[in-house]
Chain A
Amino acid sequence: MPLLDVQDLRVDLPVEAGTLHAVRGIDLSVERGEMLCLVGESGCGKSMTSLALMGLLPRRAQLSAGRLDFAGESLTALSERRRGQLRGRRMAMIFQEPMTALNPAYTLGNQLCEAFLRHRLGNRRQARERAIELLERVGISAAAERLAQYPHQLSGGLRQRVMIAMALMCDPDLIIADEPTTALDVTIQAQILRLLRDLQQEMGTAVIFITHDLGVVARIADRVAVMYAGEVIETAPTQALYANPSHPYTRGLLSCIPAPGKTPPGSRLQAIPGVVPSLVGEVEGCAYRNRCPLVREGEVDAARCERTPELRRLTGDHQARCHYAEHRAATRVAQPEMSP
């Protein structure tokens, strides 16, 4: 039984022009100790998905799901009280903006120990010891002194390390990391990624890592789910996805990444032309067809793309939401370096 089992998750937001279908029926499953990467451009619904899983959606948002099970329990059936007991305890979250995600008015120690004490995992002394232990584990020196410091006294990279330690305080089963490295410098990004990967393997915590950067995915993920316009359009084990990207959008994303040694110097980086369709109101047919190179080049029957494609199983664990997933166009994909 997977740790997290999601089927047909939908999130609707009322907006002035009607209803925004931010998440349009996605299926996800995460095994214990697995790292799943959720990839997509901004506005594709990946952050809404993570907030829905945490139960932190804005009040006006409406959630529905065929199944939303966490460790065998249905999250939709839980009372708000019981949900609060899970949140922070068994599922934790790391946010994108380390500069603003910590409360400026309280010390790090206060904020680190808060969840531990709230979920009654021990007394103040034990909370403090665990905080020091975790701060050291995430690579912060002089951990005991840091507890008395305030967030503004730390750099962005250090704050993100504190956020990671904070997420680990209660030893959760699942951590959702929503673009945790986007706001950081490139060198620090790499450090934080390695740290997350190491911790995940060491502690056996499942992680949903949300990013818009496929280059990041290759380095850390066990499995990848690519999102577009509120749907999962392709999901596969990382190796399989890079070896055999089957949805034209995934191929487009991959060709946007420069690969050392393969992208000729001085050549233009690719971009996907066109814009994401508005998710206000119903979207009929394939959501990608207005940008799809297969349609544009006339290689496939566009009429068929007017019908909404299903997420189809191609091989084993590889699924894609495209009528022409088996079609191999002339678009050749430069593959990024895979780290071991």
Chain B
Amino acid sequence: MGTFIVRRLLVALGVALTISVVSFMLLHLSGDLATSIAGPEATAEQVAQIRVEYGLDRPIVSQYLDWLGGALQFDFGRSYYYQSTVIDLIVERMPITLTLGGLALGLAVCISIPLGVVAALKRDSWVDRLALLFAVVGQAMPSFWFGLTLIVVFAVTLKWLPAAGSGGLEHFILPAIALGYYATPAMMRLTRTGMLEVLESDYIRTARAKGLSTTSVIFKHALRNAIIPVVALAAVELGFMLGGSVVIESVFSLGGLGQLAWDAISRNDYPVVQAVVLIIALFYIVLTLLADVANAALDPRIRTR
């Protein structure tokens, strides 16, 4: 178990470093940065000046090492557009994205797990078919379009909730629904198949042979085992949702990390883009680590290895 954890951590560290290289190179390999920062009307002198000013004339490796050294101390440089450091921008926007992700995940869990359990228990019934339909629709719906539809229906027509902007919790409800629906189908299906598989297993028959109540058989014996992979998936889905927040946040003008990234991309504000890519990737890495930990905690076969 000990060596397993160490190896797992080393891989995570390696992945994080690789991604830092990728997110740095991403923007440096795809054209002359100085030209794109300066804009189309800049003169050659201005471009040259910018190149020196931003240190773009130095070798790429030393630029990377400087950037990484700073990143390790949470110093991602200054934004080209805003008059502040990148880390300040991120710290300011982060809570919004985390709130959105947390709410969306909570929503997805609250819907997908009960629905998956019921679908499995009532296999091939109308509930099961409805759940499947719900999942299939969720997988095919473009999240930006679903977000816009929610705005038209609930904000414009019914006037129940605000259409855009950040503020109180009510601003998060529609975005959380739009983002959460995106994560629901996979978790629902995994719960359903897991339950179906477990309900067929020998130990469920043993539990029934003991005369246990149906509730105890389903929740204590079946769900407890079926839920293990779902917990891991939930962690991974949260990682995906943080990455996907760029779409939902720009639809709802929510002003979190995602919108910061989108604005930065449109304005060629590279230090911000690099930092956000790296930070969201780090979140994903940490979340997958947590998923492994949760797996081990829930499954004695892994825990006591």
Within 8 A of B (CB), among A50-109: 54, 56, 84-89, 92-93, 95, 97, 100-106
Chain B residues whose CB sits within 8 angstroms of the CB of A85 once the complex forms: 211
Checking B212, B221, B298, B304 against A153 with a beta-carbon cut-off of 8 angstroms, the contacting residue is B304
Q: Is B7 engaged at the interface, CB distance under 8 Å to the other chain?
A: no
Chain A residues whose CB sits within 8 angstroms of the CB of B299 once the complex forms: 104-105
Q: How far is the CA of A152 from the CA of B305 in the complex (A)?
A: 10
Could you tell me the distance in whole angstroms from the C-beta of B193 to the nearest C-beta in chain A? 18
Q: Is A115 engaged at the interface, CB distance under 8 Å to the other chain?
A: yes
Q: Is B89 engaged at the interface, CB distance under 8 Å to the other chain?
A: no
Chain A residues whose CB sits within 8 angstroms of the CB of B84 once the complex forms: none
Checking B211, B213, B221, B304 against A103 with a beta-carbon cut-off of 8 angstroms, the contacting residue is B221
Question: Is the pair A87, B206 in contact by a Cβ cutoff of 8 Å?
Answer: no
Q: How far is the CA of A4 from the CA of B223 in the complex (A)?
A: 35
Question: Is the pair B205, A115 in contact by a Cβ cutoff of 8 Å?
Answer: no
- The proximity string for A residues 115-156 relative to B, scoring 1 for CB distances below 8 Å and 0 otherwise, is 100110000000000000000000000000000001011000
Question: Is the pair B301, A104 in contact by a Cβ cutoff of 8 Å?
Answer: yes
Residue of B nearest to A102 (CB): B203
Could you tell me the distance in whole angstroms from the C-beta of B277 to the nearest C-beta in chain A? 39
Q: Is B85 engaged at the interface, CB distance under 8 Å to the other chain?
A: no
Within 8 A of A (CB), among B276-305: 298-301, 304
Q: Is B224 engaged at the interface, CB distance under 8 Å to the other chain?
A: yes
Secondary structure call for the B interface:
helix
Question: Is the pair B225, A105 in contact by a Cβ cutoff of 8 Å?
Answer: yes
Question: Is the pair B211, A84 in contact by a Cβ cutoff of 8 Å?
Answer: yes
Question: Is the pair B205, A87 in contact by a Cβ cutoff of 8 Å?
Answer: no
Checking A88, A89, A150 against B301 with a beta-carbon cut-off of 8 angstroms, the contacting residue is A150
Could you tell me the distance in whole angstroms from the C-beta of A152 to the nearest C-beta in chain B? 5
Chain A residues whose CB sits within 8 angstroms of the CB of B221 once the complex forms: 103
Q: Is A12 engaged at the interface, CB distance under 8 Å to the other chain?
A: no
Could you tell me the distance in whole angstroms from the C-beta of B205 to the nearest C-beta in chain A? 6
Q: Is A222 engaged at the interface, CB distance under 8 Å to the other chain?
A: no
Q: Is B171 engaged at the interface, CB distance under 8 Å to the other chain?
A: no
**What size tier do the contact residues of chain A reach?**
20 to 34
Question: Is the pair B203, A101 in contact by a Cβ cutoff of 8 Å?
Answer: yes
Question: Is the pair A88, B210 in contact by a Cβ cutoff of 8 Å?
Answer: yes
Q: How far is the CA of A59 from the CA of B224 in the complex (A)?
A: 23
Within 8 A of A (CB), among B198-217: 201-203, 205-213, 216
Chain B residues whose CB sits within 8 angstroms of the CB of A153 once the complex forms: 304
Q: Is A8 engaged at the interface, CB distance under 8 Å to the other chain?
A: no
Q: How far is the CA of A102 from the CA of B211 in the complex (A)?
A: 15
Chain A residues whose CB sits within 8 angstroms of the CB of B298 once the complex forms: 105
Question: Is the pair B208, A56 in contact by a Cβ cutoff of 8 Å?
Answer: yes
Chain B residues whose CB sits within 8 angstroms of the CB of A97 once the complex forms: 202
Q: How far is the CA of A228 from the CA of B201 in the complex (A)?
A: 27
Question: Is the pair A118, B216 in contact by a Cβ cutoff of 8 Å?
Answer: yes
Could you tell me the distance in whole angstroms from the C-beta of B32 to the nearest C-beta in chain A? 58
Q: Is A5 engaged at the interface, CB distance under 8 Å to the other chain?
A: no
Q: What is the interface size of chain B, counting residues whose CB is below 8 A from a CB of the partner?
A: 21
Q: How far is the CA of A101 from the CA of B209 in the complex (A)?
A: 11
Given contacts A114-B210, A115-B212, A118-B210, contact A103 B203 (CB under 8 A): yes
Within 8 A of B (CB), among A148-176: 150, 152-153, 163, 166
Question: Is the pair B203, A87 in contact by a Cβ cutoff of 8 Å?
Answer: no
Given contacts A84-B213, A115-B212, contact A104 B300 (CB under 8 A): yes
Could you tell me the distance in whole angstroms from the C-beta of B304 to the nearest C-beta in chain A? 6
- Could you say which of A87, A105, A106 has the most chain B C-beta atoms within 10 Å of its C-beta? A105
Question: Is the pair B210, A100 in contact by a Cβ cutoff of 8 Å?
Answer: no
Could you tell me the distance in whole angstroms from the C-beta of B280 to the nearest C-beta in chain A? 34
Q: How far is the CA of A260 from the CA of B160 in the complex (A)?
A: 86
Chain B residues whose CB sits within 8 angstroms of the CB of A92 once the complex forms: 209-210
Chain A residues whose CB sits within 8 angstroms of the CB of B225 once the complex forms: 103-105
Residue of B nearest to A87 (CB): B211
Could you tell me the distance in whole angstroms from the C-beta of A103 to the nearest C-beta in chain B? 4
- Could you say which of B202, B205, B211, B224 has the most chain A C-beta atoms within 10 Å of its C-beta? B211
Q: How far is the CA of A259 from the CA of B206 in the complex (A)?
A: 36
Residue of A nearest to B224 (CB): A105
Residue of B nearest to A107 (CB): B300
Question: Is the pair A152, B202 in contact by a Cβ cutoff of 8 Å?
Answer: no
Q: How far is the CA of A100 from the CA of B221 in the complex (A)?
A: 13
Q: How far is the CA of A152 from the CA of B298 in the complex (A)?
A: 14
Residue of B nearest to A110 (CB): B220
Could you tell me the distance in whole angstroms from the C-beta of A173 to the nearest C-beta in chain B? 14
Given contacts A150-B300, A150-B304, contact A101 B205 (CB under 8 A): yes
Q: Which chain A residues have a beta carbon within 8 Å of chain B's beta carbons? A: 54, 56, 84-89, 92-93, 95, 97, 100-106, 114-115, 118-119, 150, 152-153, 163, 166
Please, could you name 9 A-B residue pairs with CB atoms under 8 Å apart, sorted by A?
A: A89-B211, A95-B202, A103-B221, A104-B299, A105-B225, A105-B298, A118-B210, A118-B212, A150-B304
> Sorted from nearest, which 4 A-B pairs have the closest CB atoms?
A88-B211, A87-B211, A88-B210, A115-B210
